[in-house]
Amino acid sequence: MKRKTLVLLVALMFTAAFVSCGGGSGGKNVKGGKGGNDLTGEATGYGQIFDNDTALARDRAIDDAMNKLVSSKLGSFVSGSSVVEDFALVSSLVETKSSGMVKNWKVLKEGAESGAFVVTISGEVYPQAVNDTIESTLKNYGRPKFMVLISETFEGNVNQPGFTVTELTMMELMGNAGFEFVDPAMTKQLMYRDNARMQMAMAGQVKGDVQNLLLDDAGAEVIIVGEAKTKDQTAALAGMSANMKSKSAIINIKAIDVYTGNIIGTTSANAPGVHIEAETASKVAIQNCLKKVLGKMNDQSGKFESGPFMNQITKTFLKAATGRMISMNIVGLDFAGQTKFRNEIQSRVRGVKKVYPRGAEGMATKIDVEFAGKTHDLAEELMAKAPKMGFQIDIKAQYPNKITMTAIKNP
C-alpha cells in the first residue's frame, strides 16, 4: 500500500510540474487547451477563396490557424529565452513549416464565410519542432557566407586584401561562431583577375556585375570592407621596460548585403598591443580591436560570445531576408493578364508580402515583389504555384535580386 501511495504521489508531482512549466500566453483567435496543458489549444485561420478554389483556401486557412497556434503558445515553454525574439524575427520565413510544429491536430469547424474559408483546429504545439525550425532558419538565413576585403597598413607596409593579418584574424574569430568565409586564396585570385570590380566592391559599390561576381564566382552573401592601421607607441613604455614593444591599432569597417547592396553594419575600434616582438605586438593590437566588435571565446564556457558588430550584421541581414525586394521582368501577358498575375502572386504565393507594379509596355511588364526569402525560393514557389494560378511560366534567368521570365495565361 505504501509503495502504491508513493508511486501515485510521484506521478502527481510529475504531472503538476509538467502542467506548470509555462505561463501560457493567449493570442487572437486562439483558445487555451483542455486538461490544463498549456501547449494544447485552439486557433481559427482564414484563407481567401479565389476562382472558387475552396481546396486551396482551406489549406491556407489551416496553415494560418497553425501559425497562430504556434505563435500564441511560445510563451508557455520558452518564456524569457531568446527563442521568443528569434521566432518573431523569422516568423515570416517559418510560417510555411508551422504544420510540422503542431501534432495531434484536428479540424473542429470549417466552412466558407463571406468569400473566405474559415477553419478552427485544435492541436498541441511541439516545442522541439519549433526550436529545430528556428535553428535551421537562422542557420540558412542568418548565417551568411562572408568575404573580407580589408586594406591594411601593418608595421609600415601597405597590404592589399587577400591574406592580411586583419582578415585572417577576423576569419579565425568569426569561425569560432560557425560563420563561413570565401577562401582567402579565392579573394586574392579575384583581386588579381577582376581588380576593377573588386575595387568597386571595396568602395561599397555593390550592384550589377559586382553582385554577380561576388555571388556567382565567390559565393559571398555579405562582404566586410574597410581599413586597418597599426602604429608604434613604444615611447609610452619609456622607463617601464626596455625590451617590450607597444603598438596600437585602429580599424574602420562596414558590412554590405550583397543581395541588395545595402550597408548592414558599421563600426570602428582602437586598442593597444604589447609584446617583446614588434610584429607580434601589432597582431595583438589588431586582435584586441576585433574582439571588441566581433566577440571572443568565453574561457569558462568555451563558447563564442558575439560582439555588437557581429550581432548587428546577423540580425540586419536576417531581417532583410524576410522582406527582400525582388524585381521581376515578365513577357507574354496583356494588360488583363498582367493584372491577374500580380493579384495571384499577392494572394497565393507564400512569403510574398506585397507586389508593386513598376510599368508595362505591350506584352512586357515589370513588378517588384517584397518577399520573405531568397530569389531562388521565390522562383521555386512560382513554379510550384503557377498551374493553380492559371499560368504557364518559364524562368529564363535568376540574379541576386531579379527574375526574368515568360508567362502565358492558361485558356
Quick one: pLDDT band at residue 335, thresholds 50, 70, 90? very high
Q: What end-to-end distance do the CA atoms of the chain give, in Å?
A: 78
Cell numbers linked to 182: 570565401
% of residues, the chain, pLDDT over 90: 34
Task: Find out whether 96 and 107 touch, Cβ atoms under 8 Å.
Answer: no
- Tracing cell 615611447 back to the chain, one arrives at 235
70-88, pLDDT tens digit by residue? 888 876 666 556 677 777 7
Question: Rounded to whole angstroms, how far apart are CA atoms 68 and 43?
Answer: 6
Q: Can you state the angle between helices 54-78 and 82-94, rounded to 10 degrees? A: 170
Closest CA to 69 of 132, 121, 135: 121
% of residues, the chain, pLDDT over 70: 86
Quick one: pLDDT band at residue 3, thresholds 50, 70, 90? very low
When the candidates are 1.10.357, 3.30.390, 3.30.70, 1.10.3470, the CATH number that belongs to 322-409 is 3.30.70
Q: Which helix (H) or strand (E) holds 220?
A: none
pLDDT at 2 over 70: no
Question: Rounded to whole angstroms, how far apart are CA atoms 312 and 329?
Answer: 33
Provide the strand spans (E) within 53-169.
102-113, 116-125, 146-154, 157-159
Which of helix, strand or coil describes residue 92?
A: helix
Closest CA to 267 of 407, 120, 346, 150: 150
136-145, pLDDT tens digit by residue? 777 777 678 8
Question: Rounded to whole angstroms, how far apart are CA atoms 327 and 341?
Answer: 14
Task: Find out whether 159 and 236 touch, Cβ atoms under 8 Å.
Answer: no
151-204, pLDDT tens digit by residue? 999 888 888 887 789 999 999 888 877 788 998 889 989 998 999 999 999 999
Question: Rounded to whole angstroms, how far apart are CA atoms 86 and 164?
Answer: 35
Question: Rounded to whole angstroms, how far apart are CA atoms 243 and 111?
Answer: 84
Question: Rounded to whole angstroms, how far apart are CA atoms 278 and 224?
Answer: 27
Q: So what's the architecture of 146-320 in CATH? A: 3-Layer(aba) Sandwich (3.40)
Quick one: pLDDT band at residue 304, thresholds 50, 70, 90? confident
Q: What is the DSSP string of 53-108?
A: -HHHHHHHHHHHHHHHHHHHHHHHHHTTSHHHHHHHHHHHHHGGGGGGGEEEEEEE
Provide the strand spans (E) within 242-372.
245-257, 263-275, 295-297, 304-306, 324-331, 352-361, 364-371
> Taking all residues of the chain, what is their mean pLDDT, rounded to a whole number?
82
Considering the chain, tell me which residue range(s) the CATH 3.30.1660.40 domain(s) occupy: 21-141
341-387, pLDDT tens digit by residue? 998 898 878 788 889 999 999 999 999 999 887 888 889 889 988 98
pLDDT at 19 over 60: no
Instruction: Show Cβ contacts of residue 375 under 8 Å, excluding neighbours closer than 6 positions.
Output: 259, 326, 398, 399, 400, 401, 402, 403
Which of helix, strand or coil describes residue 239?
A: coil
Q: Which of 29-43, 176-190, 295-309, 380-394 has the lowest mean pLDDT?
A: 29-43
Return the pLDDT at 368.
94
Considering the chain, tell me which residue range(s) the CATH 3.30.70 domain(s) occupy: 322-409
Return the pLDDT at 255.
94
Return the pLDDT at 238.
58
Q: Which of 30-34, 217-221, 360-364, 375-379: highest mean pLDDT?
A: 360-364
As a whole number, mean pLDDT of residues 322-349 equals: 89
Q: How many C-beta atoms lie closer than 10 Å to residue 17's C-beta? A: 9
Question: Rounded to whole angstroms, how far apart are CA atoms 257 and 285?
Answer: 28
Task: Find out whether 46 and 116 touch, Cβ atoms under 8 Å.
Answer: yes
State in words which class domain 21-141 has.
alpha beta
Instruction: Show Cβ contacts of residue 343 under 8 Å, excluding neighbours closer than 6 positions.
Output: none
Q: Which of 78-82, 126-130, 217-221 has the lowest mean pLDDT?
A: 78-82
332-369 burial, b if ≥16 CB within 10 A, otherwise e?
Answer: bbeeebbebbbebbebbbbbbeebeeeebeeeebbbbb
Considering the chain, tell me which residue range(s) the CATH 3.40.50 domain(s) occupy: 146-320
Cell numbers linked to 48: 481567401
